[in-house]
Amino acid sequence: MKLSQRSGLVAPFEVMEVLAKAQAMERAGERVVHLEIGEPDFETPGPAVEEAVKAIREGHTRYTDSMGLAELRGAIATNLRGLCGVDIDPGAEIAVTSGVSGGLFLALASVLDPGDEVVLADPTYPCYQNFIRFLDGAPRMVPLVEEGFGLDIDRLQEALTPKSRAILLNSPSNPTGMLLEKKELRAITEITGERGIYVLVDEIYSSLVYDRKRAPSILETGYEGAIMLDGFSKLYAMTGWRLGYMAAGAEVIEAVRRLQQNFYICPSSIAQKAAIAALQCRREAEAMVREFDRRRRFVAERLRGMGGLRVREPLGAYYVFPDVSAISRDSFALASRLLEEAKVAVVPGRAFGEMGEGHLRFSYAASIEALEEGLDRVEKAIAGWSSGPSRTPPL
């Protein structure tokens, strides 16, 4: 039987493909070190777990308001006020969603018409392009500046056409670990303001930053077309709970409400109860961020010591994205070879866009022991390739 053409527009998510291959090797008895997954290895904070158990016991097991529990939306607004100094109306400007993924889909579905273009950074989170294509939109990539992966505002402006409906950015960025400063966010909204287009910023790694409390938010610009997405997966180690939220103008949120009512009804009631408690778990979250910071410096340092790799210390998220082009420009082949020979799973940079070619993404959401073992294996493999009898490049 025939599948839809629409479903064929969606390419596989490379990170999950690498994971599946690594798991198949494990089933065959290999011991693989996982540095591919962007998922905290920590447990969800105890109070959030307790709250979820209590919610089940007390019968909070029914549909909630489609926008999410009023108490949770209130807690999110309070949190945003504390961290970003912004006043968001929890009744009209916040929607709780099934992860940032669910929020992205609803937000894009609310603002895109067929043929509309959405400007994305290259490299960026690979799923964005698929959301846009699935909605009959057209992704338009803006290459980031090769040195340091910064966003060049002139290039961004050049990428805008009369068909542009939105810009979608990720800050801090997966895979680069770079973030947009407030003045860059302002410069972006100056350009988009002239054209009346939306600026969506996926801020899921906003609190996983290492030189401040939170990365600057698009909400701080006060831009009326700003759509900010954040969630509980990363900071609170709650990937499996599937909970996120967006803050945007009342009109967008009203459209999201209609879509959510129809497509998903509401996010999980139990996860929402847990999320209210999670927002109080500042101490636990800070401890995780401190540990990520330790790993970040460890991984950057180790990779820097490996011949030929160029490493920029990330400012946020939990990825290091070294330039490995001195070893190979073909990141797919290099990642495959590392998996097959060194039994270390990493993600090829090409999966994040053309500009990601010549890079590999190492996730440090893994224990320091796993990181040490994985990096030992990578170092050994690279050294072996460059000192073998033929001294030919490995790929």
Binding site for ligand PLP (CB under 6 A): 38, 99-101, 125, 170, 174, 202, 204, 231, 233, 239, 244
Q: Is the peptide bond before 172 cis (omega within 30 degrees of 0)?
A: yes
The answer to whether the bond into 123 is cis (omega within 30° of 0) is: yes
Beta strand pairing status for 226-231 and 244-248?
A: antiparallel
The bridge status of strand 360-363 relative to strand 226-231 is unpaired
Q: Taking the complex as a whole, how short is the minimal distance between the CB of residue 261 and ligand PLP, in angstroms?
A: 20
Q: Which is nearer to ligand PLP, 299 or 382 (CB)?
A: 299
CB of 121 to ligand PLP, least distance (A): 11
User: Of the two residues 120 and 375, which places its CB atom closer to ligand PLP in the complex?
Assistant: 120
Those residues whose C-beta lies under 8 Å from the C-beta of residue 280, and which sit 6 or more positions away, are: 47
Give me the half-sphere count of Cα atoms (radius 13 Å) on the Cβ side of residue 18: 32
CB 165 within 8 A of CB 140: no
Whether residue 335 contacts residue 374, with contact meaning beta carbons closer than 8 Å, is answered with no
User: Given the complex with ligand PLP, which of 137 and 330 has the nearer CB atom?
Assistant: 137
9: number of Cβ within 10 Å: 14
C-beta of 255: minimal distance to ligand PLP in Å? 20
Q: How far is the CB of 28 from ligand PLP (least distance, A)?
A: 27
Amino acid identity for residue 160 in this structure: L
CA distance 143 to 122: 5
Nearer to ligand PLP, 128 or 385 (CB): 128
How distant is the alpha carbon of residue 56 from its chain centre? 30
Closest to ligand PLP by CB, 278 vs 342, is: 278
Nearer CB in complex with ligand PLP: 123/231: 231
Instruction: Specify the residue, 67 or 235, whose C-beta has the smaller distance to ligand PLP.
Output: 235
How far lies 214's CA from each of 12, 80, 124, 208, 287, in Å?
32, 10, 20, 7, 15
Choose between 170 and 272: whose C-beta lies nearer to ligand PLP.
170
How near is the Cβ of 124 to ligand PLP at its closest, in Å? 8
Q: Which is nearer to ligand PLP, 215 or 306 (CB)?
A: 215
Name the helix (H) or strand (E) containing 128: helix 127-134
Angle, CA of 149, 222 and 253, to the nearest 5°: 95
Neighbours of 341 (CB within 10 A): 14
Closest-by-Cβ residue to ligand PLP is 99
Q: Shortest approach of ligand PLP to residue 380 CB, angstroms?
A: 29
Angle at 153 between CA 131 and CA 142, to 5 degrees: 35
User: Which residue(s) pair with 319 in the sheet?
Assistant: 363
Rank residues 209 and 381 by Cβ distance to ligand PLP and give the closer one: 209
User: In the bound complex, what is the minimum distance in angstroms from residue 231's beta carbon to ligand PLP?
Assistant: 4
Minimum distance from CB of 361 to ligand PLP (Å)? Answer: 11
Q: How far apart are CA 181 and CA 192, in angstroms?
A: 17
Non-local CB neighbours of 209 within 8 Å, separated by 6+ positions: 172, 179, 215, 289, 315, 316
- Shortest distance, position 104 Cβ to ligand PLP, whole Å: 7
Q: Measured between alpha carbons, how far is residue 235 from residues 23, 45, 274, 314 in Å?
A: 26, 10, 14, 17
Please report how close the Cβ of residue 47 comes to ligand PLP at its closest, in angstroms: 20
